[in-house]
Structure 1
Amino acid sequence: MLRRTSEQWLALFDQHKSSGLTQTEFAKQHGIDPSYFSLRKRQLLAWQQDDNHGFVELTPNGILFCQPMVLKKRDVQLHLPAGTDAVWLATLLKAMSL
Structure 2
Amino acid sequence: MSRVHRTREQWRQLIAEFEQSELSQKDFCEPRGINPAYFSQRRSELQREAEDNDTGFVLAVPQSPTSQQTLQLRVGPTELVLPLSVSPRWVAQLVKELSA
TM normalised by structure 1 equals 0.51
**Corresponding position of 1:14:** 16
**Corresponding position of 1:4:** 6
**Corresponding position of 2:39:** 37
What is the CA deviation profile of residues 67-89 of structure 1, one whole-angstrom value per residue up to 9, with x for unaligned ones? xxxxxxxxxxxxxxxxxxxxxxx
The answer to which structure has the higher strand fraction is 2
| Distance in 2 of aligned mates of 1:33 and 1:2 | 11
Map 1:2-81 → 2, pairs under 5 A:
2-53=4-55
* 1:4 Cα offset (Å): 0.7
* 1:5 Cα offset (Å): 0.9
* 1:12 Cα offset (Å): 0.4
Q: Number of residue pairs matched?
A: 54
* 1:20 Cα offset (Å): 1.9
User: Identity of aligned pairs, percent?
Assistant: 36
Unaligned runs of 5+ in 1: 54-98
**Corresponding position of 1:71:** none
| Distance in 1 of aligned mates of 2:31 and 2:47 | 22
User: RCO greater where, 1 or 2, for CA within 8 Å and sep 6 or more?
Assistant: 1
| Distance in 2 of aligned mates of 1:20 and 1:44 | 20
| Distance in 2 of aligned mates of 1:3 and 1:51 | 24
Unaligned runs of 5+ in 2: 56-100
Runs ≥4 residues deviating over 2 A = none
